[in-house]
Structure formats: structure tokens, C-alpha cells
Amino acid sequence: MRDWETGSGEDGRAYLGGYLRSSMLSVPQRLSGLAQLIEHIAEGCAELGEHVARCAEQGTHAAGGNINSSGDRVCELDRVADELLVERLAASGSCAGVVSEERALPEVLPAAAAPYLVAMDPLDGSSNLGCSIPVGTIFSVRARGEGDPADPESYLTPGTAQVAAGYVIYGAPLELVVTTGSDVHVFFLDARRRWRLRRDHVVVPPQGKIYSVNEANVSRWEPELRQWLESCKEAGYTQRYVGSMVADVHRTLLKGGVFLYPADRSAPEGKLRLLYEAAPMAMLFEAAGGFASDGARRLLEVEAASIHQRTPVVLGGRVEVMGVERALRSSGSWHVVAATRRGRLPCIFEVGGRRVDGHLELSPGGRQHRFSSS
């Protein structure tokens, strides 16, 4: 064990390794290698932070010609982040396979019988590189169970199955925000590149004063959601939005209010990814006493039908998230005909006051559904 894995520094702030082992993880979690896994992710992100800083210094952030599995233009740093973190996950020996935004299919790691599967967005918000706006890494950890790490189905359990989730924000300093379910812990990277505890017991206030959304999309929203936004303005809310999910979510987690990326007429499934953006953030918000919804349901209970599935996202305090759900419920856009089997049923649904032909897809057991326009 390395010296910084135990104890605290001279200022009494615990090191990540020691804190994981002494306070944060239960004995079975420690024994099954969750501490090693989180530490390896954290170490990988510390290294990635240097690449992000170098890239900003040298102005080498421009997007290249490649398109990733999500249809986004990939810059060199996206590729570096993905490869570096997959390498660190492999080195942990605790991770059997990984789903990454940058890879069409799961990557099987050498320890294919290891206990955990990871889903990650290695570099979220990379379109913001080059203007000193923080970008981030988001990760979600699930127990592998009997799942085959090569099979996408193994990663499609609902967010309630996550055993840990977190993100790193590449600000000054770098911060790691992580939960294993019952509390949210914030670490910072000190000058000697060691993760140190900044705070735990993060609590999202039940009601805040900030809404965070891309308001340019408002004309494509449900009228009821537009009304909800107007009521926020009348109630004295202010807006903050930089378009980097980790930065906007970090502020919402610490200061309260609401972050949302709802469905709209041109994106009936929303923009953000369920497995490696929405679900881990939802776990953090619930662990901090906040709420997380897809506009109709608890986000953590939504089952993915595919590894890169998109979902509408609402994260924040109880008052704001319930306000958004109430608005969307009254719009009727999420009203679903009863159906009890897995399959793809033709249906008509309503988005932004417009009727759209599409399909309703039911997951095994018919408990979850998702729309796609045809």
C-alpha cells in the first residue's frame, strides 16, 4: 500500500485511498475491489487533467474528422481520454468490461471475470474545449453478476443497480464527486497530485434559485413546460448554463435549483445518454437528497434498451423536479397506452403540441417503455 493511501495530510484532510477503506466503503465492497476501481479511475482522471491543461495551453483542442458511436465529431482529446481511462480500468483488475461514449460496443478487459462493469463518458462537454470552460469525466459502476462483459445486454440494468457513480470536473482545482449510494463525497486534487477530501454530506436544497437549461430550444418544448419556465422567472429564479453537463450539474448539486435537458419536438428522446450521463448523475442527486427524473419517471428506474440510449434528464431539488414532472404530466405527452409485452408497437404521441408517428418499445416484462419517432 502506498503511503498516501492511508491517513490524512497535515491539514487533517483524508486521502482518497484511506477514506475509501476507512469510511466510505463497506467491508464487502472493499474486499471485492471497489476501492481499487475508484482509485484507478481517479488516478486516470488526474493524468487526464494534465492532458486537458496541456491541450488548452497549446490550443490543440480542435475536432478532427472522426465521428463516434453517438454521431459526435471526435477531437484528439476525446480519443486520448477514452484510451487512458480504459487502460486505467484494465490496470485496476476489478473491472471486466467498459461501455464508453467513444466506442460502439463494450470493451472487454483482461480481467473478464472481475466483479464490476463500468459505463463512462470519458470527456463530457468537449465542444467547450478551447475557451477555459470546465469539461468532465462521468462514470457509473455496476456489479457484473453473471453478465458477459462483451454482451451489451449485461450493461442494461436500471440505475438502481449502480454500486458507485461519480464525475471529475477539470476545473481549478480538479474535483472528484463520488457516491456509493448513501452520501456524496467531494475530493480535490492537491498540488502533489493526491486526491484529498474536501467535503462529504453534500445536500441538495429542496428548492433553489437557479435553473440551468439550453433556452434556445424552448420553442420546441411542450407549452406546459414553457409555462413552468415562465413561472420560475416570475418567482425570481435566475439562469446559468454553460453547456458542459458536468459544470452545470456540479453547480446544481452544490447550490440547488434544477438542471434539465428535456425532450423536445426535434429530439423526442432528449440528448443526453442514459447509461453514462443520466444514471450516474441521478445516483449522485438522490444520494444528496435531491431528485432525478426523465420528466415522467424516477431516472434510476429507467431501463436502457441499448447502451447508447438517450433520455430526457431533470436533476435538482424536490420542488423544481416535481414542478417539471407536473408540467409534463399535464401536457399529456407521456401518456402511454397500456401494453404488457416486450416489443415494438406503432403509436402516436404528442411532443410540443404536435402529433408524431412513432413506436413504443417495451423492455422485458413490459415495465419500461421508450418512444422513437418513425
Where do contacts with ligand AHM occur on this chain (CB under 6 A)?
Answer: 72, 124-127, 214, 243-245, 261, 271
CA 32 to CA 130: how far, in whole Å?
40
The angle subtended at Cα 269 by Cα 263 and Cα 98, nearest 5°, is 125
Alpha helices in 221-272 (DSSP H): 223-234, 245-255
Residue 350 CB, shortest distance to ligand AHM, in Å, is: 22
Residues 6+ apart with CB under 8 A from 31: none
Phi–psi pair at 228, nearest 5 degrees: -60, -45
Q: How many CB atoms lie within 10 A of CB 4?
A: 17
Residue 152 CB, shortest distance to ligand AHM, in Å, is: 19
Residue 239 CB, shortest distance to ligand AHM, in Å, is: 13
Q: Based on CB atoms, which residue is closest to ligand AHM, 132 or 374?
A: 132
Q: Based on CB atoms, which residue is closest to ligand AHM, 226 or 329?
A: 226
232-259: b or e for each residue (b if 16 or more CB lie within 10 Å)?
Answer: beeeebeebbeebbbbbbbbbbbebbbb
* CB 177 within 8 Å of CB 165: no
Residue 175 CB, shortest distance to ligand AHM, in Å, is: 16
| 228, three cell numbers | 413552468
Residue 137 CB, shortest distance to ligand AHM, in Å, is: 11
Residue 62 CB, shortest distance to ligand AHM, in Å, is: 15
Q: Based on CB atoms, which residue is closest to ligand AHM, 42 or 315?
A: 315
